Amino acid sequence: MNIQITGKSIIGFSRGNESGTTFTAFNPATGEAVEPNFYSASLDELKEACGLAESARIAFGKVSGKDKAKFLRQIADNIEALGDALIQRATLETGLPNARFVGERGRTCAGLRMFADLVERGDWVDARLDTPNPHREPIPKPDVRSMLRPLGTVAVFCASNFPLAYSVAGGDTASALAAGCPVIVNAHFAHLGVAELVGLAIMEAVKTCGLPEGVFSLIFSKGYEIGQALVKNPHVKAVGFTGSRVGGRALMDIAAARPEPIPVYAEMSSVNPIFILPSAMEKHFETIASGLHASVTLGAGQFCTKPGIVVLPETEETEIFTSKFGDLISYTSKHPLLTEGIRNNFEKLSAARKTKISSAENDLQGFDVNASVFQTDAETFLADSSLEAEIFGPTTLLVNSNKREELLEIARKMEGQLTATIHGTPEDLLEYEDLIAILETKVGRLIFNGYPTGVEVGDAMVHGGPYPATSDSRTSAVGTRAIRRFCRFVAFQNFPNDALPNELKDENPLGISRLIDGKLTEK
């Protein structure tokens, strides 16, 4: 698929105007602008996209699981058909290697096909049937049947750090389309060309599958006006966001202040603590140091699951571990961060920490930074809440603790997180069950003897956590559960069989599993 990047928004099947404010993406390796210019959408263009989505909403919500599956698979096929042009543009706009995007493209397309399989199978709708009993005393029991139905148009705000997997065709878009919701994407300024390429792949899939024009739109915008107006638009019924706590909280407040408040599913901030227990430090300090270094510096530390705090025991091996880890950090090659703003924030927050024990010393250009590691003790950490703040980039904080109660207090004090990791033995899990009990209330995913970077995409995965990791700890942004964010339950009482959705009909024409009078039935 040979597509020329034009810099114009995608409004249904049309393109935005070449007028108004222009802006560009940047090459983080050099700090130089990347052609072409992009045109910031106008409020009228945004209104048109929202109107098209509203016009498509009911028709798209009635599309069968089989046809939605065909659509999602067509999107994946179209993205793959973009070939090397997509990979090369992603590398140009992020400073990350081609291999990263070969993998991320694979993950994105696998996610689309995972949701295709889910909606084609059909049992995700949680169909429930309570059969009637007209002879029940003192009042007859009605026939009640319920299932999940699409929520309405979803606004998706792309992430800076995943130009494919958390952006135009990422998990939020894929799960919303799978649910039967039209999607309007607000592209991230860090990877505009990638956004346009993927957006056109989705638009072509809408056309190929004969779906209504307003099922998908992509908006380019400079500044905050268009994004804020998107959340305020009455046709938008939910928001998906991945980014900073400041940005996510701003969208939450806007959505809550609407005449009709709507949910914002925001993934925002996490330091993903790692707790290394004495047994693990004594036996595996060298391999843990190597694994930790790889996790902290993966993607220049620009993963939402990067471990930003590591709690260490005070053992004979801890000093050796700290020295080895510091050496690994000092030998780390420079790497550009995704945007000038991210680079500046990394430098500002790092400079505010006074306990650096090691850093790389490379000559820098563009948006480059050097990796670093800081260290403090438990007493200082517990007294200074600023040490809990996330620093987006290749750095982490080591916290030394020699008392069990300090360890537990650190866990109690922490904000909500996406993940927490424990290194130890199976016996330690029994001995430290109080630590696990605390962490379970703080995170969405607990990891044993591993590292939080790398999120498996599947049915069981939970990528979420209490605020401020996410805006709603009951949800997951990864895996098949993500579809539930963009649905609501609808019950049909005493409807004739022919008027019911296929999922709720007596004959079960789709052959799905259903809960009938409290008993789960097979196909």
Tell me if 374 sits within 8 A of 395, measured CB to CB: yes
Query: Is 267 among the catalytic positions?
Result: yes
Longest CA span, the chain: 83
CA-CA distance, 265 to 240, in Å (whole number)?
Answer: 5
Task: Report how far residue 93's alpha carbon sits from residue 35's, in angstroms, rounded to the nearest whole number.
Answer: 10
Unique residue bearing structure tokens 């028709």: 59
By 3-state DSSP, what share of the chain in percent is helix, strand and coil, each rounded to 5?
A: 45, 20, 35
Do 428 and 422 meet the contact criterion of CB atoms below 8 Å apart?
yes
- Order across the sheet with 417-423: list the strands: 356-359, 372-377, 395-401, 309-313, 274-276, 417-423, 443-448
Contact present, 354 and 380 (Cβ < 8 Å): no
Amino acid at 88: Q
Q: How is residue 127 written in tokens?
A: 């169909």
How far apart CA 64 and CA 120 sit, in angstroms, is 8
CA triplet 220, 213, 260: central angle to 5 degrees?
Answer: 70
Among the options 120, 304, 317, 487, which is catalytic? 304
Segment holding 157, helix H or strand E = strand 153-157
Rg (CA), the chain: 25
Annotated catalytic residue, options 48, 54, 196, 267: 267
Residue with tokens 């630590």: 435
Angle at 440 between CA 437 and CA 443, to 5 degrees: 150
Cis peptide before 468 (omega within 30 of 0): yes
For every residue of 277-309, DSSP letters joined together read -HHHHHHHHHHHHHHHHHHHHGGGG--TT---E
Find residue 122's DSSP bridge partners.
Answer: none
Token digits for 369? 């930074």
Sequence-ordered strand ranges (E) for 416-522: 417-423, 443-448, 487-493, 514-516, 519-521
* 39 touches 220 (CB < 8 A): yes
DSSP 3-state assignment of 505?
Answer: coil
Phi (first) and psi of residue 405, to 5 degrees: -65, -35
397: three-class secondary structure by DSSP = strand
- For the packed helices 65-81 and 192-208, what is the interaxial angle rounded to 10 degrees? 140
Q: Which residues are catalytic?
A: 267, 304
